[in-house]
Structure 1
Amino acid sequence: MLSFFRWVLFFIALFLTVIGGALFFGHEMLVAQGPLETTKRIVIPRGAGPATMARVLHQEGVIAHPLLFRVALMIDSEPKPIKAGEYEVPAHTSMQGLVELLQAGKLVQRRLTVPEGMTTAEILDLVRKAEALTGEITVDVKEGDLLPETYFYSRDDTRDGLLLRMKEAMEKTLDEAWRKRTPGLPLANRRQALILASMVEKETAVPAERSRIAAVFLNRLRLKMKLESDPTTIYGLTDGKKSFDRELTKADLQSQSPYNTYVVTGLPPGPICNPGRASILAVTHPAHDRSLYFVADGQGGHVFARTVAEHNRNVERWKAIQRERQEQATPPTAGKP
């Protein structure tokens, strides 16, 4: 009888040793470095179960043992669902680290930067070409509907979804700016503020000038002066769908387009681009400036004037700068020094 109990104890000890060894070996495999040599992006497909995930990870070289990955999911004391999508897996990630990474659901965030002043046609083209977005564009977006910004998105997000986010961001920005606007602006509603902001956006690339440019246009609106904006006239000629790489001609300035602010009085019928947040704020909070004119200063900015005489002098200086540049750019005729 004693001998029987000794054998029982022996087998129990042996069993515990084997189990302990298996647990130790299994733990070592879970925390050991994985086979991935460099950081890699992998995609967990929608609806994938443990078997499919294990196969994808093995094919991508992230794990060496698909069965161990499935076991790791099964023995997790606090299992969490794994979200489908794109993940960035660091080199040599262990099985345990991989499970934690996937269960955390930290998908790769891609970014799309929409520059200020782009037309809607240009933004739609940008979205069509963006990597990893899906679906055709079916949402209706008009000029001025989209807020230029940097947008983050994940693989397989839809193009319509991203555009709707841009549209919502513009609505929110415009609403807030209009609600907090400076009192007494000669603008009837927030759409007129958007139209003017699009003009400011196209008139200057110098951030510090935006509120002064806005003030000039607002001053002219109060006096019922024509706005005489080159960018609106150009938009009338191109409809915002093609480039314009020449100087405006006399015929251009006499065109009967409703966007030709050399002919029509007041604002054009719609925005000429998608203005950024800064231009919208410049229009709703303009500078305290009584200027009625501005012209290029030859250094990337503008010089402002209150009177026609002062403006004419500024225009002559700008023309002289242009002539000087043309002379410097023109190569000397053969035979002349």
Structure 2
Amino acid sequence: MNFKKRKIVFILPSLKAGGAERVISYIAARLREDLFEVKLIVLGFKEDTVYDIGSLNTQYLQRSRLINSVVPLFKILFAERPHVVFSTISHVNLAMGFFSIFFKRIKFVGREASVMSQMNQFTNFNSKILKSLTSILYARMTMIVCQSEDMRLDCIRYFGLKSSNLTVINNPITHLPEIVEGHIAKDKIKFITIGRLSKEKGHLRIIDGLKKIKNYDFTYTIIGSGPQEIAIKDQIRISNLENKVSFIPYTSKILEELKNHDYFLQGSFVEGFPNALLESCSVGTPVIAFNAPGGTKEIVENAINGYLVENESDFFEILSKINELSDFRRQDVARTVTSKFNAGRIIKQYEDLLSTI
């Protein structure tokens, strides 16, 4: 009896730098070749690619917007007739929910990237329209992959989705770097934050905490770009922190930067599954993070690989007493995540899902 591989089509808006783009292209390129025939469709442009996808069968639609990709996408799915279509990013998921009306035999799987009820507070979308549309079209999909338990619960409570149509699969550690042995510095402390410079990421409340530090010297590196860049730089100037803060718009050497710092700071009001925070722990750099809705609490273990704080007062208290708290060893910090979020383990969860759906 001949075994027929399952044909899986992954759809990404682009292969520009981004958490969803990195994680899904990584997984698509590493599914078992004896079980799956995989194709990746990228709506955007080949020249924007920043991730190595090896020999993965990839088709670029060379479109700048989803609306311009609808017809070619429809034609590809009609010709390919895959068993499963896997999409990520909300607007692409919504389009696939609509496509499910016309492709009855295809199983559509969407990957949700945020706690939408909270994230909508920071977007310009009409939340009532978006909520209704998401509730209708997500319900048409065979399965929604949530990155955290908070996302799963949000999909049930906010969108009214059935629990049976939801599953939780965390993001993997895509690279396991060599850990430099030793303890975290106690003299001049180097803080770092990596992420989009947008309101929900909470950079301003990090700066408000740092400006109050008087009992030790520190530096703060911010990696990222986004719409709040001017506001963040204004706040740094007003807080007299210009000599302590440096900006890096983009770098491909994220792990090296994390290894060269002592603490990762996360000020987010809402998170998906914070890849940069996970990567920080993976290289042995502990974190101080606000306990925001999303996957942060599934990574951070208090006094083991960092600290979760509930508010700005707690945040400053941790910062002010940082040299009196846990004496973190980098290998111990890394050990808290390398088993739980091991890439092989996470990919196996995706393979099980795509095999049985």
Q: TM-score, normalised by structure 2?
A: 0.26
Q: Kindly name which structure, 1 or 2, has the bigger radius of gyration based on alpha carbons.
A: 1
Relative to total residues, which structure has the larger helix share, 1 or 2? 1
Choose between structure 1 and 2: higher strand proportion: 2
User: Could you tell me the TM-score, scaled by structure 1's length?
Assistant: 0.27
